[in-house]
């Protein structure tokens, strides 16, 4: 059975973006970029909300991005090789291959995917992750805690979430980012 993994860059005070929607403070250095690429390499399906999908689609729609370095080309290849499911009521169509648009988050559909695929699924975007958390679907939470405090913004975790966690892994990067990987127990 595949796992559903939530991956997010977060400020020290728990936000994925500041009050103006900015997240430039999450820019990884090469060491972290390689780690992230290797982390998502085995993922078979990305589950996104509209905003994160539109942010990530550039890895396919803007070839000049991948042409900037071998690291970026590798990430673009990994991203393009996975299936993408985009949950949005406002997006008219998807702009990338191996992608499909769904109007409403269906926990039973995601549960079925977890049970029928051998490759892990990754959920990205705080809003869609909140739906997955509330349905009890998320197995692991991978956070990249950035050395920034933004004060206000979009929380990385739903405020009503209560869960016991088991720390599975941790790593400190030279740029001050700390990676933590937790298993959701309850």
Instruction: Indicate the burial class of 144 (C-beta count within 10 angstroms; 0-12, 13-18, 19 or more).
Output: buried
Domains of the chain: 4-16+36-184 (3.40.430.10)
pLDDT in tens, 120-148: 999 998 999 999 999 999 999 999 999 99
Task: Evaluate whether 121 touches 45 at the Cβ level (below 8 Å).
Answer: yes
pLDDT in tens, 75-118: 999 999 999 999 999 999 999 999 999 999 999 999 999 999 99
pTM value is 0.95
pLDDT in tens, 32-45: 999 999 999 999 99
Instruction: Indicate the burial class of 33 (C-beta count within 10 angstroms; 0-12, 13-18, 19 or more).
Output: middle
How many angstroms separate the CA atoms of 158 and 47, rounded?
A: 17
Of the candidates 69, 78, 70, 97, the one whose C-alpha atom is nearest the C-alpha of residue 36 is 78
* Phi, psi dihedral angles at 12 (to 5 degrees): -60, -30
């Amino acid at each position: 059975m595949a796992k559903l993994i939530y991956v997010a860059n977060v400020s020290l005070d728990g936000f994925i973006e500041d009050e103006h929607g900015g997240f430039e403070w999450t820019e990884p250095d090469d060491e972290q970029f390689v780690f992230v690429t290797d982390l998502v390499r085995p993922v078979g399906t990305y589950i996104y909300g509209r905003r994160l999908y539109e942010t990530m689609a550039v890895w396919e729609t803007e070839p000049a991005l991948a042409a900037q370095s071998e690291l970026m080309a590798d990430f673009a290849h990994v991203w393009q090789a996975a299936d993408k499911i985009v949950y949005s009521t406002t997006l008219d169509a998807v702009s990338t291959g191996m992608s499909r648009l769904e109007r409403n988050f269906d926990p039973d559909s995601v549960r079925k995917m977890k049970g029928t695929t051998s490759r892990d699924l990754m959920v990205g975007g705080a809003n869609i992750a909140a739906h997955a958390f509330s349905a009890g679907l998320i197995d692991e939470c991978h956070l990249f805690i950035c050395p920034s405090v933004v004060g206000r913004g979009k929380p990385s975790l739903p405020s009503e979430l209560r869960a016991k966690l088991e720390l599975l892994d941790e790593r400190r990067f030279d740029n001050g980012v700390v990676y933590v990987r937790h298993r959701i127990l309850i």
